[in-house]
Chains A and B, each alone.
Chain A
């Protein structure tokens, strides 16, 4: 296990370097002068010249990449063109909001998706099963932004139960300080965006849970077709669930990716002040240092999460070997 863990950890390094290279390459793909893109339209000729030298824009590409990586490692992600602040500071100030949204949506998806899949598997063939799977199919097909818009229309506009924009108090801090009004405020603002983001993963997870359970059950179920009683069936289901955990755990990594990607749209619709909205606005403002930095940081987080998932997977199933 330790050997696998070390190997897996080492794998993160080239992937992250590669991701950094892709983030760097984004700048090369830009039409026009990259110095102008990074400094902004109003930069003077002298500043542009100095910046070009700093970035080594006149040197061969591999050296530029090296300089870029060097700066990244030292925490220098550049300065935002439109928001008068270092990119790293902007990213760090918006990251908690995105994590709050992404993590709460995954928890919601797991808390609702697995029981639903379980339900469908237990009652396979019945209308409960068909109904649940139909819902799940809809959920997987529904675009995130449409769902968000519909939820806003219903809960914020027609019923006026919940706010349609912004973030309330930070969830964790209000839980820790047991500040009930702040907690209520936090949940009021978090509820709709988290549900919107969770829906796709929820549907996916319920389908997967049902499938995984049935896979296991089908084999054993046949053997114990003439089951001797209720207790054996419960043991059976528990055993099946444990085996079904493997594919479910794998999916969590995928879900995190879905959540991060979906957060981009959800944050825009709900005005949630996270990294997703920062990136979208930066793209609209042609603020490339922010786009580059945000893309890299999100890739980093995603890689780390995948690594943790892989390690957990290996923990559960010792047969895993990395090819």
Chain B
């Protein structure tokens, strides 16, 4: 009797187990787009978001005053129109009849609340430094917001894509708002399984019109190779940078995948601590730059997924970029001459250069999560050692690296920047003596003046001139040696239609994307 029941259960289980052999069971049924991303979001509050996944999800759940088009130009979103009354006063007119996902209407009060709280040091918003030139935000009436600046601020519009939060919801939910986001965007938040997936569903009342997708699922797959494999096998429909070069090569030839590559908005660079006793000598920095086989690294390790960089100017900065400003190239003889000129010789014949009894010791740090950077550092250490420098690699997880940077406890570090939509974003906080991300403690009054100019001038030609001057100085002083311009690569299943890649990684076009 019992045995018969067992047999039945076994039969059921076997039938279910047959499901194992059916590949593509997880094939989606109309209207669900599955995205593969690399990290879990830290928070879904747009004001506090500090990682790329959070931004991708927030872009769907929230709208900003503006949104950036593929050429990185601002176009109206929640703000229907805007005017610059004076160099320091901007007025935004809000779109009417926009509602949050819980039905409450969007008003100017929400916009004011969003920006005021960001500016409040108590909130510790990571991007606060981008908004500090704003001295006052106020609601003129229910549909109009006025921004008063302490000085003219050219990039303001580009940074106005910050998601607008619901004042009422934040006040009601407090810290829980970070895990129960509520916005006006094309997709509503459904669920968040930590380290696994984030699920969104369409917002039928969206002001642009109902999105074509019914659901968007973000699958968190940290390993680049696993993520690419998931795209190839059809387990996800869309992935984008960061990707491993060998996987990109394979994706290009995969039949069900279409790969789009474009110049990105990121750089990989060597941060050189200008306060460190050895690295503070500009000749050492130049010698280092001269020893780096940039072309070989890009070709072999990055397999041309990224491009060799010439300066801190990004090719994506139309009108500002010029390839005439160049950092030192690859020249071992000159490097050795510079080191000798700086007083480093191998006086005790032990194979390591020294000066005043001290060996030329250099530690290059990077973070373990990026295998390409780890390989670059290992390669560099090997090259430096063969040139008589006592080089060491120190590879830690990202938070440990950040701690070291903040404390100034490093000599040279290999890391990167992303999302540099504007030259101000890529240079101000990094090189200004009062910059919040000037970990290398670079201090050059001329650069300070030029960066302030660039921020305040509104004529694009003037700004371009200022930033080019900065780039020229940086290419000579080398607080940064920029290794590569990161490419932005999107891999997408061919059946997905209507997706438009944007170089800053934005997925705003998901509103118009569809899956048959």
By a beta-carbon cutoff of 8 Å, the part of chain A in contact with chain B is 41-42, 44, 82-85, 90, 93-94, 97, 156-157, 160-168, 180-181, 183-185, 187-188, 191, 271, 273, 277-278, 281, 284-286
User: Which of B72-80, B155-163, B189-197, B277-285 touches A?
Assistant: B189-197
A15 to chain B, nearest CB (A): 29
Interchain CA distance A41-B221 in the complex, whole Å: 26
Q: Which chain B residue shows the least CB distance to A83?
A: B42
Given contacts A83-B40, A273-B193, A285-B399, contact A163 B179 (CB under 8 A): no
Q: Could you give 24 example pairs across A and B, Cβ below 8 Å?
A: A42-B124, A83-B40, A84-B48, A93-B194, A156-B229, A160-B233, A163-B235, A165-B230, A166-B196, A168-B26, A180-B19, A184-B17, A184-B20, A184-B25, A185-B19, A185-B26, A187-B19, A188-B19, A271-B223, A271-B226, A281-B40, A284-B397, A284-B398, A286-B403
B23 in contact with A161 (CB, 8 Å): yes
Interchain CA distance A83-B179 in the complex, whole Å: 9
B196 in contact with A273 (CB, 8 Å): yes
B397 in contact with A184 (CB, 8 Å): no
B397 in contact with A286 (CB, 8 Å): yes
Interchain CA distance A90-B40 in the complex, whole Å: 13
A278 in contact with B230 (CB, 8 Å): no
Q: How many residues of B are in contact with the other chain, CB < 8 A?
A: 46
By a beta-carbon cutoff of 8 Å, the part of chain B in contact with chain A is 15-23, 25-26, 40, 42-43, 45, 48, 121-122, 124, 126, 175, 178-179, 193-197, 219-223, 226, 229-230, 233, 235, 369, 397-400, 402-403, 406
A127 to chain B, nearest CB (A): 30
With beta carbons under 8 angstroms apart, the residue of B18, B21, B221, B398 that contacts A165 is B221
A286 in contact with B194 (CB, 8 Å): no
Q: Which 6 A-B pairs have the closest CB atoms?
A: A184-B19, A273-B196, A84-B43, A84-B178, A284-B397, A273-B195
Interchain CA distance A165-B369 in the complex, whole Å: 18
With beta carbons under 8 angstroms apart, the residue of B17, B25, B48 that contacts A185 is B25
Residues in B with CB closer than 8 Å to A180 are 15-16, 19
B229 in contact with A84 (CB, 8 Å): no
| New A-B contacts (13) at CB < 8 Å, excluding given A41-B403, A84-B175 | A82-B42, A83-B40, A161-B20, A161-B23, A162-B20, A163-B233, A166-B196, A188-B20, A273-B195, A284-B369, A285-B397, A286-B399, A286-B400
With beta carbons under 8 angstroms apart, the residue of B124, B126, B194, B221 that contacts A44 is B124
Interchain CA distance A191-B230 in the complex, whole Å: 17
Given contacts A93-B193, A286-B400, contact A187 B179 (CB under 8 A): no
Q: Which chain B residue shows the least CB distance to A178?
A: B12
Interchain CA distance A59-B333 in the complex, whole Å: 61
Q: Which chain A residue shows the least CB distance to B44?
A: A84
Residues in B with CB closer than 8 Å to A94 are 194-195
B223 in contact with A157 (CB, 8 Å): no
Interchain CA distance A271-B20 in the complex, whole Å: 19
Interchain CA distance A285-B121 in the complex, whole Å: 24
Interchain CA distance A82-B195 in the complex, whole Å: 12
Q: Which chain A residue shows the least CB distance to B399?
A: A286
Residues in A with CB closer than 8 Å to B230 are 163-165
Q: Which chain A residue shows the least CB distance to B124?
A: A42
Q: Which chain A residue shows the least CB distance to B402?
A: A41
Residues in B with CB closer than 8 Å to A97 are 196
Residues in A with CB closer than 8 Å to B220 are 271, 273
A166 to chain B, nearest CB (A): 7
Q: Which chain A residue shows the least CB distance to B400?
A: A286
With beta carbons under 8 angstroms apart, the residue of B15, B179, B219 that contacts A85 is B179
A77 to chain B, nearest CB (A): 15
A188 in contact with B124 (CB, 8 Å): no
Q: Which chain B residue shows the least CB distance to A79?
A: B175
B19 to chain A, nearest CB (A): 2
Q: Which chain A residue shows the least CB distance to B406?
A: A41
Residues in A with CB closer than 8 Å to B43 are 84
B254 to chain A, nearest CB (A): 12
A83 in contact with B19 (CB, 8 Å): no
Residues in B with CB closer than 8 Å to A184 are 16-20, 22, 25
A138 to chain B, nearest CB (A): 25
B187 to chain A, nearest CB (A): 20
Interchain CA distance A191-B221 in the complex, whole Å: 18
B124 in contact with A273 (CB, 8 Å): no
Most buried by B among A161, A168, A286: A286
A144 to chain B, nearest CB (A): 17
With beta carbons under 8 angstroms apart, the residue of B17, B175, B194, B235 that contacts A187 is B17
A161 in contact with B196 (CB, 8 Å): no
Interchain CA distance A317-B124 in the complex, whole Å: 62
Most buried by A among B42, B178, B226, B369: B226
Residues in B with CB closer than 8 Å to A84 are 42-43, 45, 48, 175, 178-179
Q: Which chain A residue shows the least CB distance to B222?
A: A271
With beta carbons under 8 angstroms apart, the residue of B18, B21, B194, B402 that contacts A273 is B194
Interchain CA distance A93-B124 in the complex, whole Å: 27
Interchain CA distance A216-B196 in the complex, whole Å: 48
With beta carbons under 8 angstroms apart, the residue of A157, A161, A188, A278 that contacts B194 is A278
A164 in contact with B17 (CB, 8 Å): no
B138 to chain A, nearest CB (A): 27
Interchain CA distance A157-B250 in the complex, whole Å: 13
Interchain CA distance A277-B40 in the complex, whole Å: 12
B15 to chain A, nearest CB (A): 7
A166 in contact with B219 (CB, 8 Å): yes
Q: Which chain A residue shows the least CB distance to B18?
A: A184
With beta carbons under 8 angstroms apart, the residue of B19, B22, B226 that contacts A164 is B226
B229 in contact with A161 (CB, 8 Å): no
Residues in A with CB closer than 8 Å to B45 are 84
B299 to chain A, nearest CB (A): 26
Residues in B with CB closer than 8 Å to A187 are 16-17, 19-20
Interchain CA distance A143-B94 in the complex, whole Å: 60
Residues in A with CB closer than 8 Å to B197 are 166
Q: Which chain A residue shows the least CB distance to B369?
A: A284
B19 in contact with A281 (CB, 8 Å): no
A312 to chain B, nearest CB (A): 22
Q: Which chain A residue shows the least CB distance to B232?
A: A160
Most buried by B among A97, A166, A167: A166
B221 in contact with A277 (CB, 8 Å): no
Most buried by A among B194, B223, B226: B194
Given contacts A273-B196, A278-B194, contact A191 B124 (CB under 8 A): no
B221 in contact with A166 (CB, 8 Å): yes
A181 in contact with B25 (CB, 8 Å): yes
Residues in B with CB closer than 8 Å to A161 are 20-21, 23
Interchain CA distance A160-B234 in the complex, whole Å: 11
A167 in contact with B22 (CB, 8 Å): no
B229 in contact with A281 (CB, 8 Å): no
Residues in A with CB closer than 8 Å to B403 are 41, 286
Interchain CA distance A168-B19 in the complex, whole Å: 13
Residues in A with CB closer than 8 Å to B219 are 166
Most buried by B among A90, A168, A180, A284: A284
A181 to chain B, nearest CB (A): 7
A183 in contact with B42 (CB, 8 Å): no
Residues in B with CB closer than 8 Å to A271 are 220-223, 226
With beta carbons under 8 angstroms apart, the residue of B16, B194, B223 that contacts A90 is B194
Residues in B with CB closer than 8 Å to A44 are 121-122, 124
Q: Which chain B residue shows the least CB distance to A167?
A: B196
Interchain CA distance A323-B177 in the complex, whole Å: 54
Interchain CA distance A160-B48 in the complex, whole Å: 40
B123 to chain A, nearest CB (A): 11
